[in-house]
Amino acid sequence: MMDERDLGTLFEFLKFQSVSTDPERSGDVAACAEWLAETMRESGLQAEVRPTGGHPVVLGWSERVAGRKTVLIYGHYDVQPEDPADAWSTPPFEPVIKEGRIYARGASDNKGQILSHLLGVRHALAAGDLPVNLVFLVEGEEEVGSPHLRGFVERYRDLLACDVVAISDTGMFAPGWGTLTYGLRGILAMELRVRGPRIDLHSGIFGGAVANPATVVARLVAELHDAEWRVRVPGFYGGIVPLSDAEREAWGELPDPEASLLRLTGVPLLAGEAGYGVLERMWARPTAEVNGLGGGFQGEGSKTVIPREAFAKLTFRLVPGQDPERIADLVEEFLRERVPAGVELEIVRGHAGRPYLNDPTTPESMAARRALERVFGRPPALIREGGSIPVVQDFAEVLGVPVLLLGLADPDAQAHGPDESFPVANFEAGMRLNRELLRELA
Amino acid sequence: MMDERDLGTLFEFLKFQSVSTDPERSGDVAACAEWLAETMRESGLQAEVRPTGGHPVVLGWSERVAGRKTVLIYGHYDVQPEDPADAWSTPPFEPVIKEGRIYARGASDNKGQILSHLLGVRHALAAGDLPVNLVFLVEGEEEVGSPHLRGFVERYRDLLACDVVAISDTGMFAPGWGTLTYGLRGILAMELRVRGPRIDLHSGIFGGAVANPATVVARLVAELHDAEWRVRVPGFYGGIVPLSDAEREAWGELPDPEASLLRLTGVPLLAGEAGYGVLERMWARPTAEVNGLGGGFQGEGSKTVIPREAFAKLTFRLVPGQDPERIADLVEEFLRERVPAGVELEIVRGHAGRPYLNDPTTPESMAARRALERVFGRPPALIREGGSIPVVQDFAEVLGVPVLLLGLADPDAQAHGPDESFPVANFEAGMRLNRELLRELA
């Protein structure tokens, strides 16, 4: 039911360099928001770009009809940086279709997914067949941890009142297999900056006289895990809600993901916290990851310096029972105790989001499962996911409604990496899913 | 005895971006070599630019008079990269004089020093007063470890035959205090590259499933030292010639370097291998330093990836009794044993050079000490130095002659760092030193 305009609309959306973490592209982010609001209006909705303390939120809504259920659909129009830019096969902001997939930064995360819902509504309105009151909330700061969204939802609580929230910003367990995600990990970002000498020093002349900040950063990062990838921070695992036997059993019945993970990632061997299977490690166990490491000479060849500073960008993925603030305190204390004399450690706390866990058998969940089954022709996979959508918890808490996660990104999406893509078939399925879901929820 | 042309000649020399490690600037390196040969000819020497397997060597020589001693003066016209370029107060290749110091990349290391010798010879020839046969050998690969110099010296052994080699490429113990350096550390460069996934992965989706290459690099670097900065590689300290009591006593009589080191480096506290004083740590103990560390997201803000690869650029400083090849083997074995499953480690060995130790009481050393005393008005400091000039060992071995190290870089030189500089007074003193030294050696 895709029409000839739909792909062109997506391509326009993908061309905006709406990289929310890059201060130099805030103009592109703003332009993308305006375009999206205009596209909502063209689709038959009312729409506004609303400011926040950061990048704006785009709101769209249908005429409110009394007695109808209200569905809020959330998504984001911002994207991850394209870096490393030279690893892309085609330019990240010049979408192309190859072998049935749309390649561009944001193709699956999240422009392709959120737009498929909007276009589903466009088609429904064109057919005079929208069975619910609808609100679109599309933000511009998801990739930097949605720092202003909770405040926004609290402020416009009345305007955003609804019966259920639906989000397509997660993955499918396998290509063509509709998936309901009922749990997400939380996140905590933290940057370590170690400073030593005032300037880069000659490592021959001064080597032996001063502590090397790059060595210290490496040492602090290395302290985070034991040899079997367990996080060594005392209290890190405290209070974690263990996986129920039923859930572990259900996951055990899913196809073994190892072959697929090896193919997707290209690693020679899977690795992770000792004592847990890979699905549990990805979905229900916390992690500590280095996202970026730097300091000293970065060029070709060698340069014999003791760098003046070095950094590590960390994120921790959190699971039910872990509180981001408390984990941040524990990690900070752990690291500060381990800083050797002669350098200074600055710890910059970044964004944080709580983990989320829902019940896949509520009426709303069952409605979503029926819609997924209708679109994809088989009962959906019921999974958790390792990523973080901090706002899911915010919606649940502030609006007091269930949140349905109906991901359309397939395992090959390469979200956040180079050559991110989204199958054309999933883009079309998303429009159908939107219509089936709204009917089921109605 | 500096004339009005001398500073202009130095400025011309400093403007060449002769960064030997940067393949994109090999043209600048070549142009610098041609300029230097021409400057030698203008000074009254014969000169040639001779090719090597890498950057060329510039040779200059005076008319050979039978019965005279022959002195070979070595230096290098290549420089370190200017990075981090934005940390410079003035552009690194646009020399300026501020408060009696010449600021530019290469000002002290080594263009200012080698040129002061050449201009000393220019003045001597103009005055008809050159008391020795002279050979200048100025290479273009010192900053990348002089990979072709030993072969060059072996090949032109006859042409380069001499009675003594003199080099000004080290530091003065204190400003205005002439210094004879009779020992240098060796060097061994090594780059670790850890590769995991084929592409950067979403650290939420895949976190827990794969080993993180940045974490592994950090872990390998952290393994190199214990908590008190001792190198943990078995055998690393094996065979080291201990410092003699006499030498330790002599160093104990030098002014305490702590205050000066704290001021120069800006560190809050000195640090290094437990059990040794700071001079011994810098001059007579080996080290393992990280010169560069990198992997994953380097930009502002955050990007939640598991990087596909990460690296650490290492150099080891070596002391008498340590063999670079053997140390490289020991380090490599140590690291390979510690690579966890799920990633691949590539180790790229870089340049290497042996340590050097001379006797400061030979006739040539005594001649140098008298020349230094005449120029600087006090007995010279007798020290070792932590840096590495691999060719010193090569000259000693291939030509079978003593090598005198008469450094003119003062402690504020910031060689290899931003705002490298060289006092105008030292430039002028270098010319006088050249003449006194040649007279004493004659």
CA distance B95 to B89: 11
Residue B420 has pLDDT above 70, yes or no: yes
Residue of B nearest to A190 (CA): B302
Eight-class DSSP state of A233: S
| CA angle centred on B170, ends B169 and B172, rounded to 5° | 130
Whole-structure pTM value: 0.83
CA distance A131 to A68: 8
Residue A365: predicted pLDDT:
96
Amino acid at B335: L
Chain B 329-348, residues with CB within 8 Å of chain A CB atoms: 340-344
Distances in Å between the Cα of A189 and the Cα atoms of A348, B33, B194 are: 9, 50, 23
Residue A418 has pLDDT above 70, yes or no: yes
Measured in degrees and rounded to the nearest 5, phi and psi for residue B108 equal -100, -30
* Residue contact A271–B210, C-beta within 8 A: yes
Q: How far is B148 from chain A (nearest CA, A)?
A: 16
pLDDT-derived band at B1 (thresholds 50, 70, 90) equals: low
Helix (H, G, I), strand (E, B) or coil at B376: helix
Residue A17 has pLDDT above 70, yes or no: yes
* Residue contact B289–A417, C-beta within 8 A: no
Residue A244: predicted pLDDT:
86
Please state the ipTM of this predicted complex: 0.83
> For the residues B256-285, what does the mean pLDDT come to?
96
Q: Which residue has the tokens 């100025």?
A: B138
- A89 is written with which tokens? 């096969």
CA distance B14 to B205: 52
Residue A156: predicted pLDDT:
95
Q: Does A306 touch chain B (CB under 8 A)?
A: yes
Q: Choose among B311, B313, B350, B338: nearest CA to B196.
A: B311
> For the residues A425-438, what does the mean pLDDT come to?
97
Q: Which residue has the tokens 């020992």?
A: B183
Q: Which residues contact A436 (CB under 8 A, 6 or more apart)?
A: A370, A371, A374, A375
Question: Which of B145, B204, B222 lies at the smallest CB-CB distance from A218?
Answer: B222
In sequence order, the β-bridge partners of residue B384 are: B183
Residue B210: predicted pLDDT:
98
Q: What is the pLDDT of residues B10-35, one digit of tens each?
A: 999 999 999 999 999 999 999 999 99
Rounded percentage of chain B residues whose pLDDT exceeds 70: 100
Q: Choose among A387, A382, A330, A359: nearest CA to A186.
A: A387
pLDDT-derived band at B244 (thresholds 50, 70, 90) equals: confident
Substitution target in A21, A170, A205, A306 with the highest count of B β-carbons within 10 Å is A205
Burial B7-22 (b: 16+ CB within 10 A, else e): bebbeebbbbbbbbbb
> For the residues A127-146, what does the mean pLDDT come to?
95
Q: What is the pLDDT of residues B273-287, one digit of tens each?
A: 999 999 999 999 999
Q: What is the pLDDT of residues A340-363, one digit of tens each?
A: 999 999 999 998 988 999 989 999
Arithmetic mean of pLDDT over chain A: 95
> For the residues B376-389, what does the mean pLDDT come to?
92
Residue of A nearest to B301 (CA): A21
Residue B51: predicted pLDDT:
96
Burial A409-418 (b: 16+ CB within 10 A, else e): bbbbbbbbbb
Q: Does A278 touch chain B (CB under 8 A)?
A: yes
pLDDT-derived band at A1 (thresholds 50, 70, 90) equals: low
**A212 chain-B contacts, CB cut-off 8 A:** 289-290
| B219 or A393, higher pLDDT | B219
Measured in degrees and rounded to the nearest 5, phi and psi for residue A80 equal -70, 160
Residue of B nearest to A301 (CA): B21
**B145 chain-A contacts, CB cut-off 8 A:** 302
Distances in Å between the Cα of A109 and the Cα atoms of A24, A169, A415 are: 21, 7, 6
> For the residues B345-365, what does the mean pLDDT come to?
93
Report whether B216 contacts B339 (CB < 8 A). Answer: yes
Residue A130 has pLDDT above 90, yes or no: yes
Distances in Å between the Cα of A284 and the Cα atoms of A251, A269, B206 are: 11, 20, 12
A366-370, B392-396, B431-435: which has the minimum mean pLDDT?
Answer: B392-396
Chain A 250-269, residues with CB within 8 Å of chain B CB atoms: 261, 265-269
CA distance B372 to B115: 18
Q: What is the CA radius of gyration of chain A?
A: 23
Helix (H, G, I), strand (E, B) or coil at A126: helix
| CA angle centred on A346, ends A341 and A349, rounded to 5° | 145
Q: How far is B290 from chain A (nearest CA, A)?
A: 6
Residue A107: predicted pLDDT:
98
Residue A411: predicted pLDDT:
87
Residue A211: predicted pLDDT:
98
Q: Does B409 touch chain A (CB under 8 A)?
A: no
Helix (H, G, I), strand (E, B) or coil at A170: coil
Report whether B114 contacts B75 (CB < 8 A). Answer: yes
Give Dmax (Cα) for chain B.
79
Q: What is the pLDDT of residues A173-185, one digit of tens each?
A: 999 999 999 999 9
> For the residues A216-235, what does the mean pLDDT come to?
98
pLDDT-derived band at B246 (thresholds 50, 70, 90) equals: confident
Q: Which residues contact A107 (CB under 8 A, 6 or more apart)?
A: A14, A95, A101, A413, A420, A421, A422
- B30 is written with which tokens? 């070549």
CA distance A132 to A32: 27
* Residue contact B307–A290, C-beta within 8 A: yes
* Residue contact A292–B296, C-beta within 8 A: yes
Distance of CA A394 to the CA centre of its chain: 15
| Number of CB pairs, chain A paired with chain B, less than 8 A apart | 382
Measured in degrees and rounded to the nearest 5, phi and psi for residue A138 equal -125, 115
Residue A415: predicted pLDDT:
87
Q: What is the pLDDT of residues A238-286, one digit of tens each?
A: 999 999 888 988 899 899 999 999 999 999 999 999 999 999 999 999 9
Report whether A95 contacts A69 (CB < 8 A). Answer: no
Rounded to a whole number of angstroms, the distance between the first and last alpha carbons of chain A is 21
pLDDT-derived band at A84 (thresholds 50, 70, 90) equals: confident
Residue B129 has pLDDT above 70, yes or no: yes
Number of H helices, E strands in chain B: 12, 18
Looking only at the bridges linking them, the beta strands covering B179-184 and B381-385 are: parallel
Residue A438: predicted pLDDT:
97
Helix (H, G, I), strand (E, B) or coil at B62: coil
Angle between helices B363-376 and B424-441 (to 10 degrees): 140
Q: Which residue has the tokens 């979200």?
A: A415
CA distance B118 to B9: 11
Q: Does A212 touch chain B (CB under 8 A)?
A: yes
Residue B391: predicted pLDDT:
85
* Residue contact B21–A302, C-beta within 8 A: yes
